[in-house]
Amino acid sequence: MSIVFLTWSLTLAKIFLSLAMGIAALRILRGPRAQDRVSGMDTLYVNAMLLLLTFGIASGSTLYFEAALIVALLGFVGTVAIAKFLLRGEVIE
């Protein structure tokens, strides 16, 4: 019973996360301001990280968890760098 519930939950989570990634990609493409695009990029990398985690839970492989950690670290650094660039016009002072 619990295996069936876990399988259905992971499948539903993958579907919803894929849908959220599509909406974030739309925000990146259509966002009228740069801040909207940065917000969409931030949402996209968080959803990608969560999707990798659901793949890791479903497969039981630690490779997905390591990839999710790398995506989270690079996404955070990228978001901070772009936000700093938009505020000050330069990343490295």
pTM of the model: 0.87
Tens digit of pLDDT per residue, the chain (93 long)?
A: 788 999 999 999 999 999 999 999 999 999 899 889 999 999 999 999 999 999 999 999 999 999 999 999 999 999 888 888 888 887 676
Q: Which long-range contacts (CB under 8 A, 24 or more apart) does 63-72 make?
A: 71/45, 72/45, 72/46
Instruction: Identify which of 14, 8, 46 has the alpha carbon closest to the alpha carbon of residue 27.
Output: 46
Q: Which CATH class is domain 2-88?
A: mainly alpha
Task: List the chain domain ranges.
Answer: 2-88
Instruction: Identify which of 46, 52, 33, 31 has the alpha carbon closest to the alpha carbon of residue 79.
Output: 46
Three-class SS state of 11: helix
* pLDDT in the model for residue 28: 93
